[in-house]
């Protein structure tokens, strides 16, 4: 091994010395310059790649970015379901939820028909209604048809009402939980006033607590299952909105006529209203 000297005063030093014992200046260490150059080069490459990625994101069309984000949300939702391992909703609960959805859907349809009835009723004040028999006949037929549909909806509404469990099971379970809380509080008061002995107090306390926990678990499982349904409906809503925009694009590109576009747009509007009604119904039932 060749001897080592201080680069400042030239006196010999040991390999392990960090400072010169003569002049006291720090010794120079062997810096792996080649490695540092390589590291810097890698950093430069990483920075360039990052800039290029950002540039591509900025140049990417907004619709494509939205589609990518929606796909990420779908994957995230799927992973979330798998992670939570949520129990499927019991059939009787699903049946009740369908009844509630149908009931609120009827309310929406009744409103739509009522608006149409009001609109057509204006025609009875038209001068033609008095002297044009064909016009009058047409108006009366429309009025009669709408009144018949409203009557049918009311009959269906009556049947659904008979099958509806009120309150809904989630609220029913919550009421039972509130009862258990009252029983626990009342038991504590009775024990404090020495109306219940310690052994009875402990046994009843454990019993009520256990029943309360079971009810809370049941309610939580139902709510989680319902929230999954809401997520599915929101995805369906997003898909319909996408279809609606695509149809609008086809109209602007003159692939479809204005009448076709208006008919399809009304259809999309009604489908979205129905889904919104379902979402609102389920969100209310989870509370």
Q: Are 271 and 108 in contact (CB under 8 A)?
A: no
Residue spans per domain, the chain: 4-52, 93-165, 167-287
Mention every residue, 6+ apart, whose C-beta is less than 8 A from residue 197: none
**What was the pLDDT predicted at 51?**
58
**What was the pLDDT predicted at 145?**
93
**What was the pLDDT predicted at 58?**
53
41/36 Cα distance (integer angstroms): 8
User: 37 by DSSP, 3-state: which?
Assistant: helix
What pTM value is reported for the model?
A: 0.52
Q: Minimal CA–CA distance to 208: which of 186, 190, 223, 191?
A: 186
Q: Are 153 and 113 in contact (CB under 8 A)?
A: yes
**What was the pLDDT predicted at 105?**
87
The two structure tokens encoding residue 231: 């997520």
Task: Report, as ranges of residue numbers, the positions in the chain whose pLDDT lies below 50.
Answer: 30-38, 62, 65, 79-83
Q: What is the distance, to the nearest Å, from the Cα of residue 206 to the centroid of all Cα atoms in its chain?
A: 37
């Amino acid at each position: 091994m060749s001897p080592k000297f201080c680069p400042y005063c030239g006196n010999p030093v040991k390999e392990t010395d960090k400072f010169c014992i003569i002049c006291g200046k720090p010794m120079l260490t062997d810096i792996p310059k080649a490695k540092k150059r390589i590291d810097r080069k890698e950093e430069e490459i990483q920075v360039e790649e990052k800039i290029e990625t950002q540039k591509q994101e900025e140049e990417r069309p907004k619709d494509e970015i939205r589609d990518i984000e929606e796909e990420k949300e779908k994957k995230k939702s799927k992973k979330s379901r798998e992670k939570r391992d949520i129990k499927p909703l019991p059939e009787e609960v699903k049946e009740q939820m369908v009844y509630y959805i149908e009931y609120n859907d009827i309310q929406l349809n009744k409103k739509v028909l009522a608006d149409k009835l009001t609109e057509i009723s204006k025609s009875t004040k038209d001068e033609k209604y008095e002297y044009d028999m064909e016009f009058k006949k047409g108006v009366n037929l429309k009025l009669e048809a709408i009144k018949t549909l409203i009557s049918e909806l009311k009959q269906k509404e009556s049947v659904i009402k008979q099958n509806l469990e009120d309150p809904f099971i989630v609220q029913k379970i919550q009421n039972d939980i509130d009862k258990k809380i009252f029983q626990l509080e009342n038991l504590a008061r009775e024990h404090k006033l020495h109306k219940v002995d310690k052994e009875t107090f402990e046994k009843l306390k454990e019993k009520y607590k256990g029943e309360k926990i079971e009810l809370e678990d049941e309610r939580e499982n139902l709510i989680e299952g319902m929230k999954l349904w809401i997520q599915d409906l929101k995805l369906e809503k997003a898909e319909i909105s996408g279809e609606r925009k695509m149809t609008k694009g086809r109209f602007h590109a003159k692939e479809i006529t204005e009448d076709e576009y208006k008919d399809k747009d009304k259809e999309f509007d009604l489908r979205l209203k129905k889904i919104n009604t379902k979402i609102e119904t389920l969100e209310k039932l989870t509370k």
